[in-house]
Amino acid sequence: MRLRRRFAVAVLSLSLLAACSEEASAPRLADESSSGSSPDVVAAGADDAPRLADESSSGGGFVSVAAGAGHWCGLRLDGSIRCWGYNYAGQASPPDGEFVAVDAGRAHTCGLHVDGDVECWGISGTPPSDQFGSLDAGLYGGCGLRVDGTARCWGDNSDGRASPPGGVFAAVAAGWSHSCGLRVGGQVECWGRDWDSQASPPDDEFASVSLGYRYSCGLRTGGAVECWGTDDLGLTSPPSGEFAVVDAGSGHACGLRTDGTLQCWGGNTAGEASPPDGEFVAVSAGSGLSCGLRPSGELECWGDNRGGSASPASRDKFTSIDAGSSHSCGLRADGAVVCWGLDWDGQASPPGGQFAAVATGFSQSCGLRTDGTLQCWGDDEHGQAPDGEFASVSLGGSSACGLRVSGAIKCWGSDSVETRAPPGGVFAAVAVGLWAHFCGLGTDGALQCWGDDEHGQASPPDGVFASVSLGDENSCGLRTGGTIECWGNTDHGLALPPDGAFAAIALGASHACALRDDGVIRCWGSDDYGQASPPDDVFAAVAVGHSHSCGMRLDGTVQCWGSDRSGQASPPSDKPSPTNWTEPAPPPMVH
């Protein structure tokens, strides 16, 4: 969870907001570029997710950054918004258009258009049709400052948090359960829930105000920070000194000093209150994660990396990819394996060294070394990988199989020996389903399947195939002519693949994707998270997980789509991620 930003005493005009430049070298109040802005979208992939700013970045550098509860957004120089992190409610999928500010709440994001209209996406109340000069997003809703200086709030109005008093304000801020406005004279006035005195500001003169969960912080006109409300984790005990900006997150706060350095305080479970050294021009504190904006327009994040929130760019180059249940792995050109997403059992923490191939399962991953030996990491539910040389490996929910260089199949895992015992003979490939069925592709192109056959998933049709892929209770084969044939459970429409000629196929739990000869990806089946809605682009490979999908472009970059709750659809940056935090559940609801 997190809350918002900072507000200057003077209300800046839209023209000034639109004119913000990344060239500013001195710290400035955050609302010189956007009132309460914070980045949060995401995770569609290399082109749609925010990049680290450089001269070649599409749209140039960033001018502001905003933090939500596990998702982030950045405002580019060209006025477009790019987001990354959690996207289960669409909070990280911003609309097109030109904006002058952006801010993020728990499961929604709001942007301020150049014409003063506010547009929100995700789970939020509907903002009023009005002309605003600034905005700030709260729990489920937000507040905006009209161009005439009056405040207007929308969304959840529990305890009156969306019912501001009348009169003229210089800035307005929305919190989890309370809201505050900064009067033109510098006094702070708050409304809403006041269980920890978070809505009872001191009678003093302030230059800006920012609200967290059950606490508030204000920047005095002299640059000192004062906070009030709950003092859990030392939240109302800010450091001394002179600051230009203060930003209150859920359980920690950060301040931008006048010399451009950052200092944070409060909870530091994932390193969110341990900012990097160097100069910044803006800062945003979220839920277990913080981001800062460098003078160059580059974004740098630290702390909890659930949902890929701290990985705003995806520019790594890969030679192959594979998608597991809630994590993904890619093989780089130098032979190193890189993984991202859920890492509860270490399945996204590969060992070092060079590999020739990588495969992912439910909570385990395996790599094929260049000498043909297998090395696996993550949950040992599959058991120890057997010794010897292998040509390929396939992982399912609780079993794994490898194809030896001799063409024999060797399987291991927690399923019964009878269930996973492969037939004898020489094979060209082997595939493992999510639970308990298996298929081997003979050197003559015929399929032999075994294991659970309740829905006919282990009863392949006759004929010659070029490859085979297995899902939960479904199987699909790619004919040598490029057509797809599927069998097994008919739920979700998985038995009805698209027509046409394809080069590759991949199955997940309830959806499938195939790569056409022309490089276009077509998906079918369940699309609850957008996992069956690939981008319109040209790819060289496709991989499918439980409820997400990934494609590798011709240049080796990876783009993923679908569920990103554990960061499995957020390929890593070419800079190291700060923390691979593990628990994927979204932040709890605060009432």
Measured distance CA(570)–CA(309) in Å, rounded: 8
How many other C-beta atoms lie within 10 A of the C-beta of residue 429?
20
| Cα–Cα distance, 383 to 372 (Å, whole number) | 19
Q: Give the pairing of strands 99-104 and 299-303.
A: unpaired
Burial class of 585 by CB neighbour count within 10 A (0 to 12, 13 to 18, 19+)? exposed
pLDDT at residue 250, rounded to an integer? 86
Residue 308: C-alpha distances to residues 312, 532, 572 (Å): 8, 21, 8
Count CA within 13 A, CB hemisphere, residue 392: 14
pLDDT confidence of residue 33: 29
Of 54, 60, 106, the C-alpha closest to 79 is 60
Instruction: For residue 2, list its beta bridge partners.
Output: 249
Q: What is the pLDDT of residue 381?
A: 67
What whole-number distance in Å separates Cα of residue 342 and Cα of residue 387?
Answer: 28
Q: Quote the radius of gyration of the chain (alpha carbons, Å).
A: 26
Digit-coded pLDDT (tens) for 514-546: 999 999 999 999 998 889 999 888 999 999 999
At 99, list the tokens: 């904006």
Number of neighbouring beta carbons within 10 Å of residue 473: 24
pLDDT of the residue at 37? 28
pLDDT given at position 565: 78
> CA torsion 442→448→450→454, rounded to 10°?
140
Q: Kindly report, residue by residue over 290-321, the tens digit of the pLDDT.
A: 888 888 888 787 876 554 444 443 456 888 99
pLDDT tens string for the chain (591 positions)?
333 333 322 222 222 222 232 222 222 222 222 233 222 222 222 222 222 222 222 333 788 888 877 788 889 888 999 887 777 788 888 999 999 999 988 889 999 999 999 999 988 778 999 999 999 998 778 999 999 999 999 998 988 999 999 999 999 999 989 999 999 999 999 999 999 999 999 999 999 999 998 999 999 999 999 999 999 899 999 999 999 999 998 899 999 999 999 999 999 987 889 999 999 999 988 877 788 888 888 878 787 655 444 444 345 688 899 999 889 999 988 899 989 888 888 998 999 999 999 999 988 999 999 999 999 999 876 677 889 999 999 998 888 999 999 999 999 987 666 667 899 999 999 999 988 899 999 999 999 999 999 999 999 999 999 999 999 999 999 999 999 999 999 888 999 999 999 999 999 999 999 999 999 999 999 998 889 999 888 999 999 999 999 999 888 888 888 887 787 888 875 333 333 323 333 333 333
Phi, psi of 452 (to 5 degrees): -60, 130
Q: Which residues contact 344 (CB under 8 A, 6 or more apart)?
A: 363, 582, 583
CA angle at 90 for the pair 84 and 92, rounded to the nearest 5°: 20
Instruction: Give me the pLDDT at residue 11, please.
Output: 25
